[in-house]
């Protein structure tokens, strides 16, 4: 009888863990774009760049969210795989941004699981994130007079691929005979 009760308990625990694991989705993308999908830069509706010169391609999303008005993808320079998806929106002030960020994070937490504990860096920059190993999604509020809310989805392995492709392409353009 004890063996049967133990088996039932183990089965219930395994079933419960499997069910709870399925309740959370894997971070795959947002706004109708999937991380890892190929994005044709000629289809972008605008272009920007990060401070280090990394190009950002603006797109019109299939699925918008009220907080965000401008949408970008960052892609690997050679294979054009999406490694990051951004949404940016203007907010009235910092308190309204933090309220909207709390709403967005509550929705994301319900969808993807727990929010990472605040770290010093996250606390200083009003960032909140959900990390699933290779992929994460973060939100942040920034600015003083022009306050904005950002959401960023990122695949770390694809970001590494992007850097490797960038180095390869750049090295092909450089005269290395002087090294």
Nearest-5° Cα angle at 141, 137 to 142: 125
Taking only the tens place, the pLDDT of each residue in 75-98 is 999 999 999 999 999 999 999 999
Taking only the tens place, the pLDDT of each residue in 98-137 is 999 999 999 999 999 887 665 555 555 679 999 998 999 9
pLDDT class of 5 with cuts at 50, 70, 90: very low
Taking only the tens place, the pLDDT of each residue in 28-65 is 999 999 999 999 999 999 999 999 999 999 999 988 99
Give the integer Cα–Cα distance in Å for 144 and 116. Answer: 25
Q: Any idea where the domains of the chain sit in the sequence?
A: 2-172
pLDDT value for 115: 77
What Rg value do the Cα atoms of the chain yield, rounded? Answer: 21
- Closest to 66 in 3D by CA, of 93, 90, 94, 102: 90
Question: Considering the entire predicted model, what is its pTM?
Answer: 0.81
């Amino acid at each position: 009888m004890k063996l049967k009760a133990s088996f039932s308990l183990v089965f219930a625990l395994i079933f419960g863990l499997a069910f709870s694991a399925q309740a959370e989705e894997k971070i795959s993308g947002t706004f109708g774009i999937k991380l890892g999908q190929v994005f044709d830069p000629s289809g972008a509706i605008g272009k920007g760049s990060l401070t280090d010169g990394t190009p950002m391609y603006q797109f019109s999303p299939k699925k918008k969210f009220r907080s965000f008005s401008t949408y970008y993808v960052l892609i690997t320079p050679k294979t054009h795989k999406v490694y990051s998806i951004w949404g940016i929106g203007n907010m009235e002030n910092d308190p309204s941004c933090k309220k909207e960020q709390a709403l967005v994070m509550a929705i994301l937490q319900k969808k993807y699981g727990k929010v990472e504990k605040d770290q010093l860096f996250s606390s200083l920059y009003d960032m909140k994130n959900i990390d699933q190993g290779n992929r994460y999604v973060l939100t942040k509020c920034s600015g003083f007079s022009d306050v904005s809310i950002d959401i960023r989805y990122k695949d770390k392995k694809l970001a590494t691929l992007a850097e490797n492709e960038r180095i390869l392409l750049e090295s092909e353009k450089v005269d290395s005979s002087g090294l």
